[in-house]
Amino acid sequence: MERESLETLATVLAVTRVKARLPQPERVQELLAAGDPGEVLDSISQRTLFDDPVLERARRDVEEWTGRGMGVVSVLSEAYPARLRDVREAPALLYYEGSLAAGDQGVCVVGSRDADDAALRVASHVSTALVEAGLTVVSGLATGIDAAAHAAALKAAGRTVAVMGTGLERTYPRANARLRADIVESGGLVMTQFEPGAAVRRANFPMRNAIMSGYGITTFVVTAGEHSGTRIQAVKAVEHGRGVILARRVAQTTSWGREMARTGRALVADGTDDILAQVHDLQAERARAEDLLRELTA
């Protein structure tokens, strides 16, 4: 797979930074439609041929980041995660360490940072089962359920992907620095939509949850509170057409979980077989859609 040039990456970065009224999702759609970041930059900015400080700064930044060993991939690359490209929130650029897999078959395992022992055991058991089924475990590198999911995948010698809510130069929380290193060393992936040096804000984490949902086939919520950030990912999973799977305790103890289960927007799982069956159904549904698209465009 051909590696993107620094100039392509810098121009895409400039598209995201240039002052214009066009929201970021629309900029991404313009990039995908045109396939040429220079064309998009020209269309949304007033740049001149010899005076483009935004592009010059972007060139310096990309060169510095890649020189520090950081991976950068744009939405235009064949290496960009295919499922993530499908959703409105797909970022123009991803920053990463480890191994990209465009066709990754990942299941998000998410839940509370302060999960009890029973919930942690569920996260570990489900993550192990997913790995044994040849699937990737996707989570957010937080304490609690996230860390348990990543650790179980690693213990089972499987692939796991950590989606962060900070720039790549940070590890949040710091206590998970060794876990992060283990993910990369095992052939997994640590990635973020936030460029290095970006400020850490509370809004970053709901945005991170949307990216996680987009990356995965579906989301399994192990445990969550009434106002948990995990609820945001559950809602996004439904919006993305991924569906969401709730542990029964979530469906019973939260009003949003009960409502999602009652309206059929979420499956309630009593065991790993329920989760794997849902994953296989969604994989088959996507395969049928892709076959139909190939027939229509042949």
pLDDT band at 286 (very low <50, low <70, confident <90, very high): confident
pLDDT at 95: 98
What is the longest distance spanned by two Cα atoms in the chain? 62
pLDDT at 227: 86
113 or 2: which leads in pLDDT: 113
Joined together, the tokens standing for residue 176 give: 């998970």
Angle at 16 between CA 2 and CA 139, to 5 degrees: 70
> How would you label 117-128 residue by residue, b for 16+ Cβ within 10 Å and e otherwise?
eebbebbbebbb
Q: Answer yes or no: is pLDDT of 49 > 60.
A: no
Segment 75-98, tens digit of pLDDT: 999 999 999 999 999 999 999 999
The region that residue 197 occupies, defined by phi over 0 for left and psi between -120 and 50 for alpha, beta otherwise, is left
pLDDT at 255: 96
**Cβ partners under 8 Å of residue 53, min gap 6:** none
Joined together, the tokens standing for residue 109 give: 């395992």
Q: What is the mean pLDDT of the chain?
A: 94
298 or 206: which leads in pLDDT: 206
Distance of CA 140 to the CA centre of its chain: 9
Q: Answer yes or no: is pLDDT of 292 > 90.
A: no
When mean pLDDT is compared over 40-54, 89-103, 233-247, the highest value belongs to 89-103
pLDDT at 70: 97
CA-to-CA distance for 240 and 286, rounded, in angstroms? 13
Tell me the average pLDDT across 243-268.
Answer: 95
Q: What is the pTM of this model?
A: 0.94
Q: Answer yes or no: is pLDDT of 44 > 70.
A: yes
pLDDT at 296: 80
Tell me the average pLDDT across 39-51.
Answer: 76
pLDDT at 294: 82
Segment 113-125, tens digit of pLDDT: 999 999 999 999 9
Tell me the average pLDDT across 40-53.
Answer: 76
Q: Answer yes or no: is pLDDT of 43 > 80.
A: yes
Write out the H or E segment, with its range, that includes residue 244: strand 244-247
**DSSP per residue, 81-110:** -HHHHTSTT--SEEEEEE---TT--EEEEE
pLDDT band at 244 (very low <50, low <70, confident <90, very high): very high
Half-sphere exposure for 97 (CA within 13 Å, toward CB): 20
CA-to-CA distance for 34 and 209, rounded, in angstroms? 28
- Residue 178 burial (CB < 10 Å; 0-12/13-18/19+)? exposed
Joined together, the tokens standing for residue 283 give: 């994989």
Helix ranges (DSSP H) in the chain: 6-17, 24-34, 37-44, 53-67, 82-85, 117-132, 145-155, 177-185, 204-215, 230-239, 248-253, 255-262, 272-297
